[in-house]
């Protein structure tokens, strides 16, 4: 029996083709929109498969079901199945499939070398991509479904995956590559037909709809525009834009709520021309988090009146970043890594820590591994005493190629240089280049403060994986000799302080705790937690914001139980920029 709908006119849900992609900057609500859309289709009687390609997927958390790397049914939504492509499991299967045919013919030391070669983040990414392309291009995998919804990874990662079919196919066609990329490339020749079919499906509007999801803030919208243009470079056209989480009008006039609404209205009114050409839908902010089938079924409907609740009050003395900065400032050097889910304010927190340390006379490098970060905008051009850099994958890759050509290629003849230059076009080169830039930034913390704004969680873990692979290779090569690898620096609490940034909501906190568990397996422990954008500290009189503030108590208490150091930051009427960032270190 089909459910009776309370659905507003959402143009992105109309006349859907079989495949639907939702992508955008981390933290904009892609997963919520994807889950709500999948629920809507299943309720309409359409057999639907929801697939997450995000390394930090939380689809299972949204539905309250353990999903993982296999298709499972969602009990609360008849007709809906889901799968989370787990990068590590995909890599394990890919590694075994690659090594099985040669295991009995290799010497132990050669087998160990081959296994290590298949342990990097490039292998993990390619393995995950194989799983994704099969879902998209292999009819037998999804024949039972009317629709396949893809909840993708944050935009930069998605673009990289979409670029891989062309890169790998061209690379294989030309017979390029040496031992440095033999591992990740092993067996890919058999998949060229699948890659070509995936690209064809993605580029066909009749078969696939690409939906960009954004929030009504400049960085999110800029990221959506960048995604639109980059998708076009690989022959894929996005057709719809969903601006999620707009604060609805209320009878009560509250300074914070009024400021948020004005900021959001301006952002939507000033959409870049490229985004204005897309079909636009907006979704209102809800008083409760989008967790559970009932909440998802209300996501595309009218806004329910907020439930009257007492305005929450902060218990005890709640501090900003002051205590953290004071403790850091006892020294003159060290690595401070801000990590967490996209959209929680890592860039703001990292910049605030850097500004506060610089104001205390410290030598500070502020850098980012996030391709979607906007440090210049956050600092507002006012970065006295702070060196600001970013690890740009394209620039790092080109620098690496130039360096290799100038060293290894120096004494080669024309044919040798041409062969080396072609080899450096391998997609694996980017992994090596970014890792070297990351390691260089880590090393600088031996003499100064390095505050690092990392990419959304999944990216960061892939980078950590590359660090671990390098550590194992060095340890095996040097034996008992003394050495220090990047991983050893990250594991040293006297050298590195990991700051976990989250917002006081159920899903971001659960994902942050999952990140802490993953770090623990690498013997890396968090130094502090920052709960950002807290409404319970604002004194808001908006009924909707009060209800959302009341929902913060549980997630904040959950963080407090495991955090040795905790800072809680209030939602700001005007996002801090430049020297104003230092104000976040004040007691609030």
Active site residue ranges = 27, 29-32, 54, 507
Answer yes or no: are the C-beta atoms of 51 and 85 closer than 8 Å.
yes
Answer yes or no: are the C-beta atoms of 321 and 585 closer than 8 Å.
yes
Question: Which of 344, 328, 326, 345 is closest to 336 using CA atoms?
Answer: 328
Tell me the CA distances in angstroms from 104 to 107, 128, 178, 469, one per residue in order.
8, 26, 23, 24
DSSP track, 302-371: PPPPPPP-PPP---S----SHHHHHHHTTSS-EEEEEE-STTS-HHHHHHHHHHHHHHTT--EEEEE--T
Dist. CA 507–CA 151, nearest whole Å: 16
DSSP track, 368-383: E--TT--HHHHHTT--
Answer yes or no: are the C-beta atoms of 228 and 277 closer than 8 Å.
no
User: What is residue 481's DSSP assignment?
Assistant: S
Burial class (CB in 10 A: 0-12, 13-18, 19+), 162: buried
SS3 of 196, please? helix
Instruction: Tell how strand 334-339 and strand 449-453 pair up.
Output: parallel
User: What is residue 482's DSSP assignment?
Assistant: -
CB-CB neighbours of 231 under 10 Å: 23
Q: What kind and span of H or E run contains 384?
A: none
Answer yes or no: are the C-beta atoms of 141 and 134 closer than 8 Å.
yes
Answer yes or no: are the C-beta atoms of 521 and 557 closer than 8 Å.
no
Q: Tell me phi and psi for residue 390, to 5 degrees.
A: -145, 150
């Amino acid at each position: 029996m089909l459910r009776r709908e309370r659905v507003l006119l959402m143009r992105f849900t109309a006349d859907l083709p079989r495949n639907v992609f939702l992508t955008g900057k981390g933290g904009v609500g892609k997963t919520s929109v994807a889950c709500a859309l999948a629920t809507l289709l299943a309720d309409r009687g359409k057999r639907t498969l929801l697939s997450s390609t995000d390394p930090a997927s939380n689809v299972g958390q949204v539905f309250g079901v353990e999903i993982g790397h296999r298709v499972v049914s969602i009990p609360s939504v008849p007709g809906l199945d889901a799968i989370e492509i787990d990068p590590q499991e995909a890599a394990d299967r890919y590694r075994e499939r690659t090594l099985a045919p040669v295991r009995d013919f290799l010497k132990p030391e050669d087998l160990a070398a081959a296994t290590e070669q298949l342990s990097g983040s490039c292998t993990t990414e390619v393995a995950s991509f194989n799983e994704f392309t099969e879902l998209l291009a292999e009819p037998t995998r999804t024949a039972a479904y009317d629709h396949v919804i893809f909840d993708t990874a944050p935009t930069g990662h998605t673009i990289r995956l979409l670029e891989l079919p062309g890169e790998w196919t061209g690379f294989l066609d030309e017979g390029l590559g040496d031992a440095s990329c033999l591992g990740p490339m092993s067996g890919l020749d058999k998949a060229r037909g699948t890659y070509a079919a995936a690209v064809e499906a993605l580029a066909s509007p009749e078969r696939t709809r690409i939906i960009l999801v954004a929030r009504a803030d400049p960085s999110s919208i800029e990221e959506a525009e960048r995604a639109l243009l980059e998708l076009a470079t690989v022959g894929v056209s996005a057709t719809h834009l969903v601006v999620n989480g707009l604060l609805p009008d209320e009878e009560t006039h509250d300074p914070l709520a009024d400021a948020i609404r004005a900021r959001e209205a301006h952002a939507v009114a000033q959409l870049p021309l490229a985004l204005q050409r897309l079909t636009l839908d907006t979704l209102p902010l809800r008083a409760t988090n989008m967790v559970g089938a009932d909440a998802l079924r209300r996501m595309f409907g009218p806004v329910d009146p907020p439930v009257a609740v007492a305005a929450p009050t902060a218990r005890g003395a709640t501090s900003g970043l002051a205590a953290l900065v004071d403790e850091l400032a006892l020294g003159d050097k060290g690595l401070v890594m801000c990590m967490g889910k996209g959209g929680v304010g890592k860039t703001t927190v990292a910049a605030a820590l850097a500004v506060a340390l610089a104001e205390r006379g410290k030598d500070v490098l502020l850098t980012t591994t996030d391709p979607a970060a906007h440090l210049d905008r956050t600092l507002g051009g006012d970065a006295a005493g702070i060196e600001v850099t970013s690890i740009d994958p394209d620039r790092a890759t080109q620098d690496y190629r130039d360096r290799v050509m100038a060293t290894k290629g120096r004494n080669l003849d024309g044919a040798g240089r041409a062969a080396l230059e072609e080899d450096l076009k391998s997609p694996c080169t980017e992994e090596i280049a970014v890792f070297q830039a990351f390691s260089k930034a880590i090393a600088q913390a031996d003499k100064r403060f390095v505050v690092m704004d990392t990419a959304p969680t999944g990216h960061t873990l892939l980078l950590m994986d590359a660090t671990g692979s390098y550590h194992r290779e060095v340890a095996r090569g040097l034996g008992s000799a003394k050495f220090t690898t990047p991983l050893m620096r990250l594991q040293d609490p006297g050298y590195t302080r990991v700051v976990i940034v989250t917002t006081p909501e159920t899903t971001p906190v659960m994902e942050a705790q999952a990140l802490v568990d993953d770090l623990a397996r690498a013997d890396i422990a968090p130094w502090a937690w920052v709960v950002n954008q807290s409404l319970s500290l604002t004194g808001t009189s908006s009924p909707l914001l009060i209800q959302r503030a009341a929902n913060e108590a549980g997630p904040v208490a959950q963080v407090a139980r495991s955090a040795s150091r905790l800072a809680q930051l209030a939602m700001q009427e005007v996002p801090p920029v430049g020297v104003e960032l230092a104000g976040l270190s004040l007691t609030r």
